[in-house]
Structure 1
Amino acid sequence: MEAAGEIVIQRPDPPVVGKVNHYSIELYWDINNDYKRVGPPSKWFKFSIEEEDVKTHMYGTVYSGYSKQHVVEGLEPSSGYRFRLKVTGHNGEYAYSPVVMVSTTREPMTGEHLHRAVNMNDEATVLKILQSGSVKADIPDKLGFSPLMIAAQKGYVRIVQLLIDHGADITQENGSGKNSLMLACFAGHLDIVENLRKEGASWETRDKAGCTAMHWAVDGGNPKLIEWMIDDGCKVDVKDSCSQWTPLMRVSAVSGSADVAHLLIASGANVNVKDKDGKTPLMVATLNNHERLVRLLIEKGADCSITNEYGIGISEMAKAFNRQNMLVILEDMKKEIL
Protein backbone atom coordinates (compact mmCIF):
# COMPACT_ATOMS: atom_id res chain seq x y z
CA MET A 1 0.00 0.00 0.00
CA GLU A 2 1.14 3.56 -0.65
CA ALA A 3 0.73 6.55 1.76
CA ALA A 4 1.96 10.15 1.29
CA GLY A 5 3.98 9.01 -1.72
CA GLU A 6 5.66 6.24 0.23
CA ILE A 7 5.16 2.49 0.08
CA VAL A 8 4.09 0.81 3.31
CA ILE A 9 4.45 -2.96 2.94
CA GLN A 10 2.17 -5.06 5.08
CA ARG A 11 3.54 -8.25 6.57
CA PRO A 12 2.86 -10.90 3.94
CA ASP A 13 1.34 -14.29 4.61
CA PRO A 14 3.82 -17.21 4.80
CA PRO A 15 4.45 -19.20 1.61
CA VAL A 16 1.87 -21.87 0.88
CA VAL A 17 3.26 -25.41 0.57
CA GLY A 18 2.41 -27.24 -2.64
CA LYS A 19 3.79 -30.57 -3.85
CA VAL A 20 6.40 -32.21 -1.62
CA ASN A 21 8.55 -35.26 -2.33
CA HIS A 22 11.83 -36.65 -1.02
CA TYR A 23 14.04 -34.06 -2.72
CA SER A 24 11.92 -30.96 -3.44
CA ILE A 25 9.30 -28.64 -1.97
CA GLU A 26 6.97 -26.42 -3.99
CA LEU A 27 6.14 -23.00 -2.50
CA TYR A 28 3.79 -20.35 -3.81
CA TRP A 29 2.55 -17.00 -2.50
CA ASP A 30 0.43 -13.89 -3.05
CA ILE A 31 -2.60 -16.03 -3.78
CA ASN A 32 -4.89 -13.06 -3.07
CA ASN A 33 -2.97 -10.83 -5.49
CA ASP A 34 -2.16 -8.28 -2.77
CA TYR A 35 0.95 -7.18 -4.65
CA LYS A 36 -0.37 -6.31 -8.08
CA ARG A 37 1.96 -5.47 -10.92
CA VAL A 38 1.19 -1.81 -11.57
CA GLY A 39 3.17 0.36 -13.96
CA PRO A 40 6.55 -0.51 -15.44
CA PRO A 41 8.57 -3.52 -14.10
CA SER A 42 10.73 -1.10 -12.10
CA LYS A 43 7.66 -0.42 -9.93
CA TRP A 44 6.78 -4.09 -9.32
CA PHE A 45 7.13 -5.84 -5.98
CA LYS A 46 9.99 -8.31 -5.76
CA PHE A 47 9.69 -11.64 -3.95
CA SER A 48 12.37 -13.66 -2.22
CA ILE A 49 12.22 -17.07 -0.57
CA GLU A 50 14.70 -17.50 2.24
CA GLU A 51 15.68 -20.78 3.90
CA GLU A 52 16.94 -21.06 7.48
CA ASP A 53 20.27 -22.78 8.08
CA VAL A 54 19.65 -25.34 10.84
CA LYS A 55 23.15 -24.85 12.26
CA THR A 56 23.54 -21.07 12.24
CA HIS A 57 19.83 -20.15 12.22
CA MET A 58 20.69 -17.56 9.60
CA TYR A 59 18.56 -17.18 6.47
CA GLY A 60 19.87 -17.50 2.94
CA THR A 61 18.04 -16.64 -0.27
CA VAL A 62 17.03 -19.61 -2.44
CA TYR A 63 14.89 -17.59 -4.86
CA SER A 64 14.56 -13.94 -5.83
CA GLY A 65 12.42 -12.53 -8.62
CA TYR A 66 8.90 -11.60 -9.69
CA SER A 67 7.35 -15.06 -9.94
CA LYS A 68 4.73 -16.18 -7.41
CA GLN A 69 5.91 -19.78 -7.08
CA HIS A 70 9.19 -21.66 -6.75
CA VAL A 71 10.32 -25.27 -6.36
CA VAL A 72 13.20 -25.73 -3.92
CA GLU A 73 15.21 -28.75 -5.11
CA GLY A 74 18.24 -30.77 -4.04
CA LEU A 75 16.90 -31.37 -0.55
CA GLU A 76 17.53 -34.32 1.76
CA PRO A 77 14.80 -36.94 2.24
CA SER A 78 12.91 -37.14 5.55
CA SER A 79 14.26 -33.73 6.62
CA GLY A 80 12.61 -30.60 8.03
CA TYR A 81 13.01 -27.15 6.45
CA ARG A 82 11.96 -23.59 7.41
CA PHE A 83 11.17 -20.92 4.82
CA ARG A 84 9.95 -17.33 4.87
CA LEU A 85 8.81 -14.90 2.19
CA LYS A 86 10.34 -11.47 1.76
CA VAL A 87 8.45 -8.79 -0.21
CA THR A 88 10.44 -5.78 -1.38
CA GLY A 89 9.02 -2.55 -2.86
CA HIS A 90 10.63 -0.48 -5.61
CA ASN A 91 11.97 1.96 -3.02
CA GLY A 92 13.78 -0.77 -1.09
CA GLU A 93 11.24 -1.15 1.70
CA TYR A 94 10.55 -4.79 2.60
CA ALA A 95 8.68 -7.03 4.99
CA TYR A 96 9.00 -10.67 6.04
CA SER A 97 6.29 -13.27 6.40
CA PRO A 98 6.00 -15.68 9.30
CA VAL A 99 8.06 -18.85 8.89
CA VAL A 100 6.51 -21.94 7.34
CA MET A 101 7.88 -25.35 8.38
CA VAL A 102 7.73 -28.38 6.07
CA SER A 103 9.43 -31.78 5.83
CA THR A 104 10.43 -33.75 2.75
CA THR A 105 9.09 -37.27 2.36
CA ARG A 106 10.97 -40.53 2.79
CA GLU A 107 13.06 -41.54 -0.20
CA PRO A 108 11.18 -44.20 -2.20
CA MET A 109 12.73 -47.63 -2.43
CA THR A 110 14.33 -48.48 -5.78
CA GLY A 111 16.03 -51.41 -7.44
CA GLU A 112 19.34 -49.91 -6.45
CA HIS A 113 18.36 -50.17 -2.77
CA LEU A 114 17.38 -53.81 -3.21
CA HIS A 115 20.61 -54.72 -4.99
CA ARG A 116 22.66 -52.93 -2.35
CA ALA A 117 20.89 -54.83 0.43
CA VAL A 118 21.34 -58.17 -1.35
CA ASN A 119 25.04 -57.55 -1.93
CA MET A 120 25.45 -56.74 1.77
CA ASN A 121 23.49 -59.87 2.80
CA ASP A 122 21.14 -57.57 4.73
CA GLU A 123 18.10 -59.80 5.22
CA ALA A 124 16.07 -57.27 7.20
CA THR A 125 16.38 -54.56 4.56
CA VAL A 126 15.72 -56.98 1.70
CA LEU A 127 12.53 -58.11 3.42
CA LYS A 128 11.47 -54.53 4.13
CA ILE A 129 11.95 -53.50 0.49
CA LEU A 130 10.14 -56.55 -0.85
CA GLN A 131 7.24 -56.08 1.55
CA SER A 132 6.89 -52.43 0.53
CA GLY A 133 5.74 -53.57 -2.89
CA SER A 134 7.53 -50.66 -4.55
CA VAL A 135 10.32 -52.76 -6.07
CA LYS A 136 9.95 -55.95 -8.09
CA ALA A 137 11.98 -58.90 -6.86
CA ASP A 138 13.33 -59.47 -10.40
CA ILE A 139 14.58 -55.96 -11.16
CA PRO A 140 18.02 -56.29 -12.87
CA ASP A 141 21.09 -54.21 -12.13
CA LYS A 142 23.11 -52.37 -14.78
CA LEU A 143 24.86 -55.61 -15.75
CA GLY A 144 21.61 -57.49 -16.17
CA PHE A 145 21.88 -59.53 -12.97
CA SER A 146 18.71 -60.02 -10.92
CA PRO A 147 18.84 -59.95 -7.10
CA LEU A 148 18.31 -63.73 -7.12
CA MET A 149 21.29 -64.24 -9.42
CA ILE A 150 23.51 -62.21 -7.11
CA ALA A 151 22.32 -63.99 -3.97
CA ALA A 152 22.73 -67.39 -5.62
CA GLN A 153 26.25 -66.55 -6.78
CA LYS A 154 27.29 -65.22 -3.38
CA GLY A 155 25.78 -68.11 -1.43
CA TYR A 156 23.20 -66.12 0.54
CA VAL A 157 20.78 -68.96 1.29
CA ARG A 158 18.20 -67.05 3.32
CA ILE A 159 18.05 -64.15 0.87
CA VAL A 160 17.61 -66.58 -2.01
CA GLN A 161 14.54 -67.96 -0.24
CA LEU A 162 13.22 -64.48 0.60
CA LEU A 163 13.41 -63.49 -3.05
CA ILE A 164 11.74 -66.69 -4.23
CA ASP A 165 8.99 -66.27 -1.63
CA HIS A 166 8.32 -62.80 -3.04
CA GLY A 167 8.01 -63.94 -6.63
CA ALA A 168 11.57 -63.93 -7.99
CA ASP A 169 11.76 -65.78 -11.31
CA ILE A 170 14.23 -68.66 -11.04
CA THR A 171 14.41 -68.90 -14.85
CA GLN A 172 15.44 -65.26 -15.41
CA GLU A 173 18.65 -64.86 -17.43
CA ASN A 174 21.33 -62.19 -17.61
CA GLY A 175 22.76 -60.79 -20.82
CA SER A 176 24.84 -63.88 -21.55
CA GLY A 177 21.94 -66.22 -20.89
CA LYS A 178 23.09 -67.49 -17.50
CA ASN A 179 20.46 -68.04 -14.83
CA SER A 180 20.65 -68.32 -11.04
CA LEU A 181 21.16 -72.10 -11.17
CA MET A 182 24.20 -71.79 -13.44
CA LEU A 183 25.73 -69.08 -11.28
CA ALA A 184 25.20 -71.09 -8.10
CA CYS A 185 26.75 -74.15 -9.78
CA PHE A 186 29.82 -72.19 -10.85
CA ALA A 187 30.21 -70.78 -7.33
CA GLY A 188 29.83 -74.25 -5.80
CA HIS A 189 26.89 -73.49 -3.49
CA LEU A 190 25.27 -76.90 -3.15
CA ASP A 191 22.62 -75.78 -0.66
CA ILE A 192 21.37 -73.10 -3.05
CA VAL A 193 21.47 -75.45 -6.03
CA GLU A 194 19.35 -77.92 -4.07
CA ASN A 195 16.88 -75.17 -3.22
CA LEU A 196 16.63 -73.92 -6.79
CA ARG A 197 16.04 -77.46 -8.04
CA LYS A 198 13.32 -77.91 -5.43
CA GLU A 199 11.71 -74.72 -6.76
CA GLY A 200 11.73 -76.10 -10.30
CA ALA A 201 15.01 -74.96 -11.87
CA SER A 202 15.87 -77.15 -14.87
CA TRP A 203 19.11 -78.87 -15.84
CA GLU A 204 18.11 -78.52 -19.51
CA THR A 205 18.48 -74.74 -19.80
CA ARG A 206 21.44 -73.34 -21.73
CA ASP A 207 23.14 -69.98 -21.88
CA LYS A 208 23.73 -68.14 -25.16
CA ALA A 209 26.86 -70.20 -25.82
CA GLY A 210 24.89 -73.41 -25.36
CA CYS A 211 26.47 -74.24 -22.00
CA THR A 212 24.50 -76.03 -19.30
CA ALA A 213 24.73 -75.82 -15.53
CA MET A 214 27.15 -78.77 -15.66
CA HIS A 215 29.55 -76.84 -17.89
CA TRP A 216 29.60 -74.06 -15.29
CA ALA A 217 29.83 -76.45 -12.36
CA VAL A 218 32.98 -78.11 -13.73
CA ASP A 219 34.51 -74.67 -14.26
CA GLY A 220 33.85 -74.02 -10.57
CA GLY A 221 35.39 -77.39 -9.67
CA ASN A 222 33.37 -78.46 -6.60
CA PRO A 223 33.36 -82.31 -6.73
CA LYS A 224 30.71 -82.67 -4.00
CA LEU A 225 28.32 -80.43 -5.94
CA ILE A 226 29.03 -82.17 -9.25
CA GLU A 227 28.42 -85.58 -7.69
CA TRP A 228 25.05 -84.36 -6.36
CA MET A 229 24.14 -82.93 -9.77
CA ILE A 230 24.90 -86.25 -11.45
CA ASP A 231 22.81 -88.13 -8.88
CA ASP A 232 20.01 -85.61 -9.52
CA GLY A 233 19.98 -86.42 -13.22
CA CYS A 234 22.11 -83.66 -14.74
CA LYS A 235 23.64 -84.82 -18.03
CA VAL A 236 27.43 -85.00 -18.20
CA ASP A 237 28.10 -85.27 -21.95
CA VAL A 238 26.23 -82.32 -23.47
CA LYS A 239 28.11 -80.24 -26.06
CA ASP A 240 27.96 -76.45 -26.11
CA SER A 241 26.93 -74.70 -29.33
CA CYS A 242 30.15 -72.77 -29.98
CA SER A 243 33.15 -75.07 -29.65
CA GLN A 244 31.21 -78.34 -29.27
CA TRP A 245 32.83 -78.81 -25.89
CA THR A 246 31.45 -81.20 -23.31
CA PRO A 247 31.99 -80.62 -19.58
CA LEU A 248 34.94 -83.04 -19.73
CA MET A 249 36.53 -80.90 -22.43
CA ARG A 250 36.03 -77.84 -20.21
CA VAL A 251 37.83 -79.60 -17.37
CA SER A 252 40.69 -80.38 -19.76
CA ALA A 253 40.91 -76.75 -20.85
CA VAL A 254 40.25 -74.88 -17.61
CA SER A 255 40.82 -76.49 -14.21
CA GLY A 256 42.51 -79.77 -15.13
CA SER A 257 40.84 -81.35 -12.10
CA ALA A 258 41.33 -85.11 -12.24
CA ASP A 259 38.77 -85.54 -9.43
CA VAL A 260 36.04 -83.79 -11.41
CA ALA A 261 37.02 -85.63 -14.59
CA HIS A 262 36.80 -88.96 -12.76
CA LEU A 263 33.21 -88.21 -11.70
CA LEU A 264 32.23 -87.30 -15.26
CA ILE A 265 33.88 -90.34 -16.83
CA ALA A 266 32.35 -92.66 -14.21
CA SER A 267 28.96 -91.27 -15.20
CA GLY A 268 29.43 -91.90 -18.90
CA ALA A 269 31.39 -88.96 -20.28
CA ASN A 270 33.09 -89.87 -23.57
CA VAL A 271 36.87 -89.59 -23.18
CA ASN A 272 37.34 -89.55 -26.96
CA VAL A 273 34.74 -86.94 -27.84
CA LYS A 274 35.84 -84.39 -30.48
CA ASP A 275 35.19 -80.67 -30.59
CA LYS A 276 34.54 -78.67 -33.79
CA ASP A 277 38.27 -78.70 -34.58
CA GLY A 278 38.66 -82.42 -34.01
CA LYS A 279 40.46 -82.05 -30.67
CA THR A 280 39.87 -84.55 -27.88
CA PRO A 281 40.02 -83.97 -24.10
CA LEU A 282 43.42 -85.68 -24.08
CA MET A 283 44.80 -83.22 -26.65
CA VAL A 284 43.45 -80.22 -24.77
CA ALA A 285 44.71 -81.51 -21.39
CA THR A 286 48.15 -82.12 -22.90
CA LEU A 287 48.40 -78.64 -24.38
CA ASN A 288 47.37 -77.17 -21.01
CA ASN A 289 49.95 -79.18 -19.03
CA HIS A 290 47.44 -81.04 -16.85
CA GLU A 291 49.68 -84.02 -16.08
CA ARG A 292 47.44 -85.87 -13.61
CA LEU A 293 44.43 -85.46 -15.88
CA VAL A 294 46.37 -86.77 -18.90
CA ARG A 295 47.26 -89.92 -16.97
CA LEU A 296 43.65 -90.39 -15.89
CA LEU A 297 42.26 -89.93 -19.41
CA ILE A 298 44.63 -92.52 -20.84
CA GLU A 299 43.82 -94.93 -17.99
CA LYS A 300 40.12 -94.48 -18.79
CA GLY A 301 40.53 -95.26 -22.48
CA ALA A 302 41.60 -92.05 -24.21
CA ASP A 303 42.91 -92.97 -27.66
CA CYS A 304 46.38 -91.53 -28.28
CA SER A 305 46.17 -92.31 -32.00
CA ILE A 306 43.32 -89.93 -32.78
CA THR A 307 44.20 -86.94 -34.98
CA ASN A 308 42.49 -83.58 -35.34
CA GLU A 309 40.89 -82.20 -38.52
CA TYR A 310 44.35 -81.46 -39.92
CA GLY A 311 45.61 -84.97 -39.29
CA ILE A 312 47.83 -83.91 -36.38
CA GLY A 313 48.16 -86.33 -33.46
CA ILE A 314 48.75 -85.81 -29.77
CA SER A 315 52.52 -86.37 -29.84
CA GLU A 316 52.97 -83.88 -32.69
CA MET A 317 50.97 -81.30 -30.76
CA ALA A 318 53.04 -81.80 -27.65
CA LYS A 319 56.25 -81.36 -29.65
CA ALA A 320 54.94 -78.26 -31.44
CA PHE A 321 54.10 -76.60 -28.12
CA ASN A 322 57.28 -77.81 -26.42
CA ARG A 323 55.43 -79.96 -23.89
CA GLN A 324 58.39 -82.24 -23.20
CA ASN A 325 56.97 -83.39 -19.87
CA MET A 326 53.81 -84.47 -21.63
CA LEU A 327 55.76 -86.45 -24.21
CA VAL A 328 57.39 -88.39 -21.40
CA ILE A 329 54.02 -89.10 -19.78
CA LEU A 330 52.48 -90.18 -23.07
CA GLU A 331 55.31 -92.62 -23.75
CA ASP A 332 55.21 -93.98 -20.20
CA MET A 333 51.44 -94.49 -20.34
CA LYS A 334 51.66 -96.26 -23.67
CA LYS A 335 54.21 -98.69 -22.19
CA GLU A 336 52.00 -99.31 -19.16
CA ILE A 337 48.99 -100.04 -21.35
CA LEU A 338 51.03 -102.38 -23.54
Structure 2
Amino acid sequence: MVRFLLEEDRDLPAEGFEGDGDGDLAVRSVNRKQDAGLSPVTVAAERDSPDTLRLLLDHGGDVGITDGKGRNALALASFCGNEDTLRYLLGLEAGRELIDEGDAGGRTALWLAARTGNVGVVRILLEAGADPSVGDDDGTTPAGAAERFGKTAALECLRSHGRGQVGA
Protein backbone atom coordinates (compact mmCIF):
# COMPACT_ATOMS: atom_id res chain seq x y z
CA MET A 1 0.00 0.00 0.00
CA VAL A 2 2.79 2.42 0.91
CA ARG A 3 4.63 1.60 -2.33
CA PHE A 4 1.43 2.26 -4.30
CA LEU A 5 0.86 5.61 -2.61
CA LEU A 6 4.45 6.67 -3.18
CA GLU A 7 4.32 5.72 -6.84
CA GLU A 8 0.94 7.37 -7.40
CA ASP A 9 2.02 10.50 -5.52
CA ARG A 10 4.05 11.62 -8.53
CA ASP A 11 0.83 12.06 -10.49
CA LEU A 12 -1.04 14.13 -7.92
CA PRO A 13 -2.09 17.58 -9.09
CA ALA A 14 0.48 20.14 -7.98
CA GLU A 15 -2.20 22.50 -6.71
CA GLY A 16 -1.71 23.04 -2.99
CA PHE A 17 1.72 21.39 -2.95
CA GLU A 18 5.18 22.88 -3.04
CA GLY A 19 7.70 21.76 -5.62
CA ASP A 20 9.91 22.86 -8.45
CA GLY A 21 8.53 20.48 -11.08
CA ASP A 22 11.65 18.29 -11.11
CA GLY A 23 10.47 15.51 -8.81
CA ASP A 24 10.59 17.76 -5.76
CA LEU A 25 6.82 17.38 -5.32
CA ALA A 26 7.06 13.71 -4.31
CA VAL A 27 9.87 14.41 -1.85
CA ARG A 28 7.96 17.22 -0.18
CA SER A 29 4.88 15.00 0.04
CA VAL A 30 6.83 12.15 1.70
CA ASN A 31 8.15 14.63 4.26
CA ARG A 32 4.88 16.47 4.74
CA LYS A 33 3.77 16.81 8.37
CA GLN A 34 0.24 16.55 9.70
CA ASP A 35 -1.12 19.10 12.16
CA ALA A 36 0.30 17.13 15.12
CA GLY A 37 3.76 17.25 13.54
CA LEU A 38 3.69 13.63 12.42
CA SER A 39 5.17 12.62 9.08
CA PRO A 40 5.24 9.25 7.31
CA VAL A 41 8.87 8.81 8.45
CA THR A 42 8.18 9.53 12.12
CA VAL A 43 5.11 7.28 12.12
CA ALA A 44 7.06 4.39 10.54
CA ALA A 45 9.78 4.76 13.19
CA GLU A 46 7.22 4.94 15.98
CA ARG A 47 5.32 1.88 14.73
CA ASP A 48 8.46 -0.29 14.27
CA SER A 49 8.15 -0.64 10.53
CA PRO A 50 11.71 -0.72 9.13
CA ASP A 51 10.52 -1.94 5.70
CA THR A 52 8.12 0.99 5.37
CA LEU A 53 10.78 3.35 6.68
CA ARG A 54 13.29 2.04 4.11
CA LEU A 55 10.75 2.58 1.33
CA LEU A 56 10.03 6.13 2.49
CA LEU A 57 13.73 6.99 2.73
CA ASP A 58 14.33 5.48 -0.72
CA HIS A 59 11.70 7.91 -2.03
CA GLY A 60 13.27 11.01 -0.50
CA GLY A 61 12.09 10.77 3.09
CA ASP A 62 14.17 12.78 5.55
CA VAL A 63 15.53 10.62 8.40
CA GLY A 64 16.09 13.79 10.43
CA ILE A 65 12.52 15.10 10.19
CA THR A 66 11.03 15.62 13.65
CA ASP A 67 7.59 15.27 15.21
CA GLY A 68 5.75 17.91 17.23
CA LYS A 69 8.08 17.32 20.22
CA GLY A 70 11.24 17.66 18.15
CA ARG A 71 11.94 13.91 18.12
CA ASN A 72 13.56 12.41 15.05
CA ALA A 73 13.08 8.84 13.79
CA LEU A 74 15.99 7.50 15.88
CA ALA A 75 14.61 9.08 19.06
CA LEU A 76 11.10 7.79 18.36
CA ALA A 77 12.29 4.25 17.67
CA SER A 78 14.28 4.39 20.92
CA PHE A 79 11.42 5.80 22.98
CA CYS A 80 9.02 3.16 21.65
CA GLY A 81 11.50 0.29 22.11
CA ASN A 82 11.60 -0.56 18.42
CA GLU A 83 14.88 -2.44 18.16
CA ASP A 84 14.54 -3.53 14.50
CA THR A 85 13.88 0.02 13.33
CA LEU A 86 16.65 1.32 15.58
CA ARG A 87 19.18 -1.13 14.11
CA TYR A 88 18.11 -0.19 10.59
CA LEU A 89 18.51 3.53 11.31
CA LEU A 90 21.90 3.04 12.96
CA GLY A 91 23.01 1.22 9.81
CA LEU A 92 22.56 4.47 7.89
CA GLU A 93 25.13 7.23 8.09
CA ALA A 94 22.33 9.80 8.37
CA GLY A 95 20.80 7.79 11.22
CA ARG A 96 24.09 7.54 13.13
CA GLU A 97 24.47 11.30 12.87
CA LEU A 98 21.28 11.68 14.93
CA ILE A 99 22.48 9.56 17.84
CA ASP A 100 23.16 12.41 20.29
CA GLU A 101 20.68 14.93 18.86
CA GLY A 102 18.20 16.17 21.45
CA ASP A 103 14.47 16.79 21.09
CA ALA A 104 12.74 20.04 22.07
CA GLY A 105 13.72 19.37 25.71
CA GLY A 106 17.25 18.22 24.89
CA ARG A 107 16.43 14.54 25.44
CA THR A 108 18.54 12.22 23.26
CA ALA A 109 17.59 8.76 22.01
CA LEU A 110 19.63 7.25 24.87
CA TRP A 111 17.93 9.52 27.42
CA LEU A 112 14.49 8.44 26.14
CA ALA A 113 15.43 4.74 26.19
CA ALA A 114 16.77 5.07 29.75
CA ARG A 115 13.63 6.91 30.86
CA THR A 116 11.41 4.11 29.51
CA GLY A 117 13.73 1.44 30.93
CA ASN A 118 14.31 -0.44 27.70
CA VAL A 119 17.64 -2.15 28.40
CA GLY A 120 17.89 -3.66 24.91
CA VAL A 121 17.62 -0.24 23.30
CA VAL A 122 20.03 1.28 25.84
CA ARG A 123 22.61 -1.40 24.95
CA ILE A 124 22.16 -0.93 21.21
CA LEU A 125 22.64 2.83 21.53
CA LEU A 126 25.68 2.53 23.80
CA GLU A 127 27.29 0.02 21.43
CA ALA A 128 26.61 2.43 18.55
CA GLY A 129 28.45 5.21 20.38
CA ALA A 130 25.71 7.19 22.11
CA ASP A 131 27.20 9.53 24.71
CA PRO A 132 25.70 8.79 28.15
CA SER A 133 26.98 12.08 29.54
CA VAL A 134 24.70 14.19 27.32
CA GLY A 135 21.95 15.58 29.52
CA ASP A 136 18.64 17.19 28.70
CA ASP A 137 17.96 20.92 28.97
CA ASP A 138 17.79 20.56 32.77
CA GLY A 139 21.12 18.73 32.88
CA THR A 140 19.62 15.31 33.62
CA THR A 141 21.71 12.57 32.02
CA PRO A 142 20.27 9.26 30.78
CA ALA A 143 21.39 7.62 34.05
CA GLY A 144 19.68 10.40 36.00
CA ALA A 145 16.47 9.83 34.03
CA ALA A 146 16.63 6.07 34.67
CA GLU A 147 17.16 6.72 38.36
CA ARG A 148 14.38 9.32 38.60
CA PHE A 149 11.84 7.05 36.91
CA GLY A 150 12.86 3.90 38.79
CA LYS A 151 14.32 2.06 35.79
CA THR A 152 16.97 0.17 37.74
CA ALA A 153 17.92 -2.28 34.98
CA ALA A 154 18.56 0.59 32.55
CA LEU A 155 20.52 2.43 35.24
CA GLU A 156 22.69 -0.64 35.88
CA CYS A 157 23.25 -1.05 32.15
CA LEU A 158 24.44 2.55 31.89
CA ARG A 159 26.68 2.19 34.94
CA SER A 160 28.18 -1.09 33.72
CA HIS A 161 29.02 0.62 30.46
CA GLY A 162 31.51 2.57 32.56
CA ARG A 163 30.57 6.09 31.56
CA GLY A 164 27.08 6.54 32.97
CA GLN A 165 26.86 9.47 35.29
CA VAL A 166 23.88 10.08 37.52
CA GLY A 167 22.84 13.64 36.78
CA ALA A 168 20.30 16.02 38.25
TM category, shorter: 0.7 to 0.9
Which aligned runs of 4 or more in structure 1 are off by greater than 6 angstroms? none
- Runs of 5+ unmatched residues, structure 1: 1-191
Please report the TM-score for the alignment, with normalisation by the length of structure 2.
Answer: 0.77
Which residue number in structure 1 is paired with residue 16 of structure 2?
A: none
1:260 alignment partner, one of 68, 74, 85? 85
CA RMSD across the alignment = 1.6
Which digits, 9 at most, give the CA deviation of each residue in 1:183-239, with x for residues without a partner?
xxxxxxxxx111111111621211012221011112221222222222333111112
**Cα distance change, pair 233–334 in 1 and its aligned pair in 2 (3 A):** farther
Amino acid at match of 2:49: N
Deviations along 1:162-182, one digit per CA (max 9) or x if unpaired, are xxxxxxxxxxxxxxxxxxxxx
Which amino acid is 1:228 matched to? Answer: L
**1:260–1:210: structure 2 CA closer, same or farther, 3 Å change rule?**
same
Higher RCO (Cα < 8 Å, 6 or more apart)? 2
Give the alignment's TM-score, normalised by structure 1.
Answer: 0.40
1:196 aligns with 5
The answer to whether structure 1 residue 236 and structure 2 residue 63 are counterparts is: yes
Which has a greater percent of helix?
2
Deviation at 1:279, TM superposition (A): 0.8
Say whether 1:211 aligns with 2:20. no
Q: Shift of the alpha carbon at 1:306?
A: 0.8
CA contact (8 A) 2:99 2:130 kept: yes
Where does 1:312-323 land on structure 2 (aligned, <5 Å)?
A: 312-323=140-151
* Contact 1:230–1:236, Cα closer than 8 Å, also in 2: yes
Shift of 1:265: 2.2
Alpha-carbon offset, residue 295 of structure 1:
0.7
CA distance 1:225–1:204, shift in 2 (3 Å): closer
> Where does residue 40 of structure 1 map in the other structure?
none
| Percent sequence identity over aligned pairs | 25
Indicate conservation of the 8 Å contact 2:70/2:103, yes or no: yes
Paired residues of 1:252 and 1:288 also in contact (CA < 8 A): no
- Equivalent-residue separation in structure 1 for 2:83 and 2:77 (angstroms): 8
Task: State the AA in 1 paired with 2:133.
Answer: S
Q: Secondary structure at the match of 2:77?
A: helix
Q: Which structure's CA Rg is the greater one? A: 1
* 1:298 Cα deviation from its structure 2 partner: 1.0
Which residue is equivalent to 1:7?
none
| Counterpart mapping for 1:300-315 below 5 A | 300-315=128-143
> After superposition, where does 1:97-108 map in structure 2 within 5 Å?
none
1:95-119 CA distance string (max 9 Å, x none): xxxxxxxxxxxxxxxxxxxxxxxxx
More strand per residue: 1 or 2? Answer: 1
